[in-house]
Amino acid sequence: MPVERDEPGLVGLVQQGDAAAFGELVDRYAEAAYGVALSIVGTPQDAEDAVQSAFIRALTRIDQLRPGSPFGPWFYSVLRSTALNLRRREGLRSHGEVPDTTAGSGRPDEDLERTLARQHVLAALETLPEQQRTAVVLYDLQGFSHREVAESLGVAVGTSRAHVHHGRKALRDLLGPIMEMSEGEA
């Protein structure tokens, strides 16, 4: 089993021109980056574009990363900026999404419930201010620490905590009635 190399070491190799080391970083962050981008831009196609552009941008600017620094928080700030720019610049195309039920469990009622719940959560996330939305996604869904969220957003740690707190409260307020309805139907 291959040993996973540390990020600062990988970053140093990338800064020296090692494409394979950059490939390792891409492999580590691509899936989570897609989730973050999707929370900002809203459609799968635009999220894919944002992630691809952010990795290219990160590669061209890798020398800006301080030696010994972790790649993740810095990359997520690049991704966030790239996704926001894409959202503003292109006004984002409207795409038909592939329904989640195409790879369902074989129980249409459960698949429909899961799809509707996902749509409600995504719609609720969309209503949050961008920094709260990104903070909640990075902290709660991607497992980043408040320090890493703060670095990604370019804010203080206390501000990161506040964004997560207020974002969660807003989501509870928005999703509470929906969750009570689905619990009452069970």
pLDDT, one tens digit per residue, over 43-87 is 888 889 999 999 999 999 999 988 778 898 899 999 998 998 888
The verdict on 22 and 53 lying in the same domain is yes
Within-domain flag for 147: yes
State which residues form the domain around 143.
108-186
Within-domain flag for 81: yes
Residue 106's pLDDT is 61
Span 77-100, pLDDT tens digits: 999 989 988 888 766 444 444 444
List all residues 6 or more positions away from 8 whose beta carbon is below 8 Å from its beta carbon: 67, 68, 69, 70
Looking at the predicted structure, is the pLDDT value of residue 179 above 80? Answer: no
Within-domain flag for 15: yes
Looking at the predicted structure, is the pLDDT value of residue 6 above 80? Answer: yes
- The enclosing domain of 156 has a CATH number of 1.10.10.10
The verdict on 3 and 88 lying in the same domain is yes
The residue-averaged pLDDT of 9-29 equals 90
Nearest Cα neighbor of 116 from 48, 181, 29, 169 is 181
Two tokens, residue 164: 């997560």
- Has this prediction a pTM greater than 0.85? no
The verdict on 57 and 123 lying in the same domain is no
Residue 92's pLDDT is 43
Higher pLDDT, 121 or 100: 121
| Amino acid at site 162 | A
CA distance 33 to 51: 6
The verdict on 49 and 82 lying in the same domain is yes
Nearest Cα neighbor of 167 from 134, 121, 119 is 134
DSSP 8-class letter at 100 = G
Work out the angle at residue 19's Cα, subtended by the Cα atoms of residues 16 and 25, and round it to the nearest 5 degrees. Answer: 100
Q: At what angle do helices 7-15 and 71-90 cross, to 10 degrees?
A: 60
Span 127-147, pLDDT tens digits: 888 889 888 888 887 778 898
Say whether 185 sits in a helix, a strand or coil.
helix
- The enclosing domain of 33 has a CATH number of 1.10.1740.10
Neighbours of 150 (CB within 10 A): 21
Within-domain flag for 102: no
| Amino acid at site 149 | V
* CA dist 125 → 84, 122, 128, 133, 167 (Å): 15, 5, 5, 6, 8
